[in-house]
A and B are shown apart, each in its own frame.
Chain A
Amino acid sequence: MDNKNQLIDIFRQEANEILAEIEDTILDIEQNPDDEESVNKLFRSMHTIKGSGAMFGFDNIADFVHHIETLLDLVRNGSISISSELIDLIFMSKDQIKAMLDSTEEECNFDPGICEIITLKLKNFIPESEKQEFDKKDMDSWDENIDNLPVDADNQTETAFRIRFKPSPDIMLSGMNPVMILNELRDFGECYITTHIGDIKELKHLEPEKCFLSWDIILKAECDIETIKDVFIFVEEDSEVGIKLLEDTDYEDSEKCPPLLGEILLDRGDTTIDNIKKALDNQKKLGELLVESGDISKEKVESALSEQKLLNSLKKPANQDNIRIASDKLDSLINLVGEIVISQASLMQVEENNPDTEFSSPIKKMERLIGELRDISLNMRMMPVGNMFNRFRRLVRDLSLELGKEIDLVIEGGETELDKSIIERLHDPLVHLIRNSIDHGIHSPEERVKNGKPRKGTIRLGAAHHGARVDISIDDDGMGINKDSVKTKALEKGMISNSDKLEESEIFDLIFAPGVTTAAEVTGVSGRGVGMDVVKREINSLGGTIRISSIPKKGTSIHLSMPLTLAIIEGLLIKVEQRTFILPVSQVEACMESKAIRMEKKEDQNMIWIKGNLLPFVRLREFFKIQGNIPKVEHIATFHTGHYNIGVVVDEIVGNVQTVIKPLDRLYSSAKGISGATILGDGSVALIVDLPELIRCAKQDMK
Chain B
Amino acid sequence: MNEISPDEIIEFLTFKLGNDVFALETSRVKEVLKFTGITQVPRMAEYLPGVINLRGNVISIIDISLILNMDGIKNKKTSWFVITEIDQSAESLTIGMMVDSVEDVIRIEASRISPPPEIGIKIDPEFSRGIGKLDDKYFIILDIENIVSVQNIETVQTKQDK
Contacts and interface: CB of A to CB of B under 8 A. Distances in A.
Interface of A: 339, 342, 579, 623-626, 662-668, 671-674, 677, 679, 683-687
7 contacts: A625-B42, A626-B42, A666-B93, A667-B48, A667-B95, A667-B153, A668-B41
Nearest to A689: B42
Nearest to A579: B40
Contact of A668 (B51, B53, B91, B150): B51
Contacts of A664: 41, 51, 58, 60
Given A664-B51, A666-B93, A686 B39 contact: yes
Q: Sorted from nearest, which 4 A-B pairs have the closest CB atoms?
A: A624-B42, A685-B39, A662-B58, A667-B60
A684 B39 contact: yes
A684 B40 CA distance: 11
Given A667-B60, A684-B37, A677 B51 contact: yes
Contacts of A677: 39, 51, 58
A662 B57 contact: yes
Interface in B49-70: 51-53, 56-58, 60, 62
A575 to B, nearest CB: 13
B159 interface: no
A685 B58 contact: yes
B148 interface: yes
Contacts of B40: 579
A674 B91 CA distance: 21
A625 B58 CA distance: 23
Question: Which of A339, A579, A663, A671 has its CB near the most chain B CB atoms (within 10 A)?
Answer: A671
A455 B136 CA distance: 87
Contacts of A672: 42-43
A667 B95 CA distance: 9
A668 B44 contact: yes
B107 to A, nearest CB: 31
Given A579-B40, A673-B42, 16 more contacts: A623-B42, A624-B43, A626-B42, A664-B41, A664-B60, A665-B94, A666-B150, A667-B153, A668-B48, A671-B42, A671-B43, A674-B41, A683-B53, A685-B53, A687-B39, A687-B42
B99 to A, nearest CB: 17
Contacts of B93: 665-667
Contacts of B150: 666
Contacts of A668: 41, 44, 48, 51, 60
Nearest to B95: A667
B41 A679 contact: no
B39 A625 contact: no
B45 to A, nearest CB: 9
A472 to B, nearest CB: 30
A667 B50 CA distance: 10
